[in-house]
Structure 1
Amino acid sequence: MTKFVHGEDMSSMIYFLVEKGSCVTCWPDANGLTPLHRAASLGMPFNIEVIRSILYHFPQSAEVCDTLGNSILHLLIGRMPSYLEGKNLLKFKEIFALRNYQDQRGNTPLHIAARSKDINMVRVLLEFSTKLSIKNKEGISVASLIQQHNLHEVLRKRKLTPEECKATNKPNISFLRERMSKLGEDFLLSQDSKERNVLHRLMEIKNESHIIQDDFIDFVQQILEKFPKLVCQTDVNGDTPIHILVRNNPDSTIYVASGNRTNTNQNVNDFIFSSLWRSGVLSALLELCNQCNLKIQREESAKEARYDPPWLVQNALGNTPLHEALIANNHVLVRRLLALDRRSAGLVNKCKETPLHLIGGRPMYMEQFKRKDIELMVEAKAEAAYWPDQDGLTPILRAFQVGDLSTATILCSISPEAAKICDANDQSFWHLLVNHPSIYYVHLLLQNQTLRELLGLKDKNGDTPLHLAIQENRFDIVQVFLDTWERERESSRGRHRWLVDLLDLQNKAGVRSMWGIPTSQMKTYVNTMGIIAALLTTITFTAAFAVPGGLIENVGTPVLIERVAFQVFMISDELAMCLSMMVLFCLLWIMATNNRHNSVKILDFSVTLLLASFYATIVTFMTGLFATLFSVKPWTAIVTLILCSLLMLLVHKYLVIKFLIPFKNVIRYFFWMFLRFARKICTKIIKWCTAMARKFIGCCKPKPSNGADGQGRTRQRSVIIV
């Protein structure tokens, strides 16, 4: 049976069902709800998509009401994604006819919208000439409800002024409090050109903002207490304030100071340089939104009304706040959002991506999620590991495609059954793994029996992962596969024929390269290596005659010739030049030979010589500096020696991947501390210079004379400063 998920185009399925039996759209279930009524309870904005499809194929279904007399328009109050969607919905003549329809309590849709302060629907219904004089059974008209809830000012669509927008960007809380005291609490409902209210704009924290943390959080709390439903309000892009909050880059730099509105005159030195995630501002704001959500949920439960929390609201791209937090690489908020509502782990966006797809499709330069975080995501919605995106890739296949082998390996170990799913070309994750250089993860995945059984799968071209490994000259992977299949090959009757086929494929694919260089790209590698070798030759040739310390006049002998470090400098310089020259000769031989087997061997030898030339060049540099500096500044010479030695160690790719990348946050923290220290030093220097300048100006200021001119003005002596 085909599985349909949120975000999938179900128009064809709805048309198929309606065509088979159009009356089915009017049949109520045990609770008196038709399929159209049920569609209204779906999460935004997919409820409108389903309702629009049903109305398009069978518009008469809008005439049926539920057991309480509620029409589809009654049920959509509070669930309309935006003003524009509501306006488009009332263009259906069947929906337009329901604008004045009363339920069993006499309430029209406008009654419900005004009571729940659904400003978008109030505005839409008023624009479509809904009657304001209709009274319900309690004798209350729509006009009195609008006046009672003071919606007149809100309906005027007040726009934020440029000064107010600038104050929300800073954020300048004292200015916003002044505006609220002058214009009233309805000022908080003002919107900008993108239909973002004050809460939307405050949730977007700019880089290098100066924030008085206590005052900022108190003001946001005040907004949510006055208008709690602002946390669910969407802008033109369908974003709630929570979408914007979790979209903030956690590594953004801000200046934070403690204080409140009684202590807003903060000194510049009171602000502390910090990253956004270290300050705790994002977590505190998300907790305020959660408290507001719980309050709304209790109120809606008391009314026995359905309520969709903001964690499940999807914007125009179909992204929930969990999707946005994953895109922003905000690990802390991802864990918190998952704890608040696990259902968000099973929602997909317009690209049919679950949160698991975003975890697996992260670039390598981003900090990877830990195993326990991925396990929580899978536990929240185990089926999400099997769902393909619009490219036909599951989260596991997506991770292998982008090269996030760490996350891919974790997903395979957690959901080995999901690893059996292939892409549109019938390629398993083993086929995709061949394109990545790391052999470590190959050994790790082969430890799982279920995953080992997938090595025999063939793609549309009939190739197994072993075939692709041979064709791509990945003989390190070939060796691992052969070792893994040793028992199967020994028990196979046609093992000799199998080995012959492998040898034939090997001859077609090319000759093995020790450095994994494909023969198809040999020309590119030769050109690049030639440029590098020529540069090294020029550098080392120049260094041999421009020796450190200079030459003895009339003799030409180096001044530092007796020092051991200088002798090492000369030898390493000669070695680096000879090696780089040898690389150039080897590359010429490659261009002159037609034997591919010999070309690959010479190319591998050239790479080895080039690496040795790099090492010799580094030794030349550090010994030259050591010979000239040690007698004058020993500590400088020793530091140079240590740094260059570390550079020689860090040339290895394994060390960079395993040690440097995991400690990038530590390096960033020390960098921030250094900047903070430098800022304090600069501030003190500026203060000292300012004080000295004021003292100097005070000494040079001219003194007034005792006499006065004819007009009563004091005469001043002209002071000439030389």
Structure 2
Amino acid sequence: MDDKLHAAARTGDTRLFQQRSSQENDEISQEIVQNYKEKDEIGTYDDTYFCRQAEDGSNIIHIALRHGHEQFVKEALERYFDLIFQKDSIGDTPLHVAARLQTPAALRFLQSSLHNGRNRDSVQNSEIENLRILAVSNSKGNTILHEAARTNNYETIRHLLYWSRYTGNIEGIACTNHNNENFLHLLARYATYTATSSSYSTKYSLMARELYISASCAYVRDKDGFTPVLRAVQCRRLRLANFLVNKFPESIKIFDNKYRTVLHHLSAALVIDVVDDSEDITPLLKKFIEFHGVCDFRLAQDEDGNTPLHLAIMNEDVSTTKFLMELCLREEERPELTIINKDGHSIFNLLSSKGHIATLIDMAEKLNYALTYMEERQRVDKMMMDSELYQAAIDSDVRIFREVSTNSSQYFTRTSLDGSSIIHIAVRHAKPETIMFLQHALRLFPHLISKPDSNGDTLVHLAAKCKTDFSADIISMYYGSVKEMKGVATNPSAVKNYKGSLAIHEALQADNLKAAKILLERSEFVATTRINDLEETPLHAYARYGSSRNGDAKGFLSTLFKKDKSAAYIRDNQGFTPLLRAAMSARFHVVKAILDDCPQSANLRDPNGRTFLHLVRFTGGEVDESLTDKFEQTGKQLFKYPEVDLQRLVQDNDGNTPLHYAIKTGNSIVAIVLTQRCLESRTRAELDLVNKEGATVSDLLAAHDVPNEVIELIRKKEPEAVYSARSSYGIHKTDMKYSANALSVVAGLLTTITFAAGIQVPGGFNEDDGSSVLLLKPAFQAFIVFNTFAMCGSMLVLFYLLWVMGIGKIHGSLMVLDLSIFVLRACFYSTLGAFTTGVYVTTSEKSFWLAIFVCVICFLTIFVTIKVSVANITRLGKWVSKSSRMMLSLIRGRYNAHMTAIPFQPVANKDKVDVIVESKAP
């Protein structure tokens, strides 16, 4: 195509058609010639000229359609009808271009093409041409109906469907593209429309009357096995899905290649067909689920065994999950909750795996609550024990077995709301009579011995958890009953509750060492290595929760290690040994007991390469942080083990030694203990080691808040390590500029105060020579000296701080900051001295006592701000507080002893006592 023809098509210039050479138009009109004389050379063109194509394959109709020149397109269509089948470089004919253009001109072009095809020479030719127009495809296999559906050109779709119905030619409607998709598939995939129901009704009602001729299209599967309904649901075109199901209800029963139903794809959908994401799609879901047969698909499993609810949770679709969950809970059976997919996951497993989504976690909690409530209601209705049996179990009253016929086993095996049987209730309210009650109950109803409550706890679990005087006796009785009832109960030490814990785990978590010792000694297997669901051994449980005294812990652990020492080296599911777990939990007595018997366990590290010394903590219920001497003693006890002392230089995966790690994590007590041990050693190697961030201990002192004890300890032995990190007043090198700014404000205020005091001196000035009235008095002269020193000192501090803010040397700046603070403190004292002498010289003549009072107050102010004085006052306050507590305890003890010694006097007149009590009642 030359430029002239391209320009004519682009601008819609129809005059070029009048230069077409033919027998009917051999002479060019004079008007045309006159119009062309100035611009173009007059010539004639044959039909092949007008059929030429541009570089992109477009012919004149392609170009004119894109530029909206309807008249040009109309004349070209009349002269060269076959141009509508000519394809451009991407396979699109002018028909495809017009189907995508949502303009009236494009629609009229399609209508003209169909009419011209119908008006061919013969009826047979017209049918062929119509079929050819509807079936012509581009490079993707899309017909004009496909393109209209892909671009949501509903008016064109309606007209093409109407034309097919009118002419009886439906083969073109059923055409599929290379993905085996018909136009309904593309409409389901690409349909976009506003979220209002009125828009939905308007757009689809226009096609409703014409769609019945394309009924077969609703049942065709594409290459993925999707029907239009399945594709619409998968893409969340729920209104279109509703529309198609209304028209073709049987299409809802078709599965895809993975045996997934419409509900599966509703759960797996990732997009939503709403304009505003805040719109609630629940009404659409409810409307969709009302179709006949859809609700039955709730239990359908795909090839992976997933129900629609499984998929909704896996795809984190909160709205669909909530909707399907509500449907499930309405049913009495609720079978979805028991279905397990091929990976072995139930609904509860999938919900618990989505811990990062708060909504799904909340939904899981509500589901558990709903199920618990339903089970409780069933228990109340069917098998809840009455109040008489419940009270008898609380009181351990054996008379209940005589008063009620023991043949009625169903009565005695009823449970309370939490699933507890009579033996559970009796153990929780243990009394001296409980042993006899349990013996009677187990002799009559032996199956109760292994019956769990709602938490999965059996009799032995409850006895282990209840730290009472009778728990050990109950466990001993339990073992005796089990031996008598062989075949009725399993090994009691091997039974786990719903937390996955054995009885010995529960005993050690409750710090019930007596019960744990019996379970350990009478176990028929190695209980020391049995693990719960967290892969914790009993020793792990004790290391996490144990709080017994040192002697008790040592005695129990000695018994445990005699059974099996390997328990000290077993790791839990987080990779921690019992020693590491005890160190993390601040159970120092457990730590010491483990190290006494298994010191080599100190060499084991956690998955991050951290040793026992990295993780150890002394804070908690066993050590008071205010007792520094206790910390030092604790540290010495630790380092008496050579295996522990060797861990001081061990670096974890980040290159941190225990001292590095204690400083970084703010573990101040461990930092003090490790610093003491480091400075006692000859090499002091910890101070020189560098972690992966390139930081030494000195660098960490500058970047983190460290207790003053650590700073002072290091300053005494390694002053350079401290001076390079922080000043002697504790200013970090990272805070130098901020500290300098703060100090400059204080120095500026002090300069202003002293300058004003020097100009407005006490006593005023002599009017004759302008000198001070009190100039010759010694107190006034002292005032001038103090004020001058404070003025000059504060100015000197300002100069120092300006130097700090401009210099780049850290060490020099820290020294200047120390000097500035020292000078500033001296200026404060001088200012107080100036105030004292100024007030004294003006008041001593008239009121000497007032002058002395001011001097004393100012002197005390200076005294209490000195560091040594502050430390002494702090110690004095602690001594007074401690003494007060001791006195109160002593007084309270004597009062209690006195009240105990008073004998009880019986009251002769009971009525009189009642009157007195009633008169005092509020």
TM-score, scaled to structure 1: 0.45
- Ranked by relative contact order (alpha carbons within 8 Å, sequence separation 6 or more), the top structure is 1
Q: Which has the larger radius of gyration?
A: 2
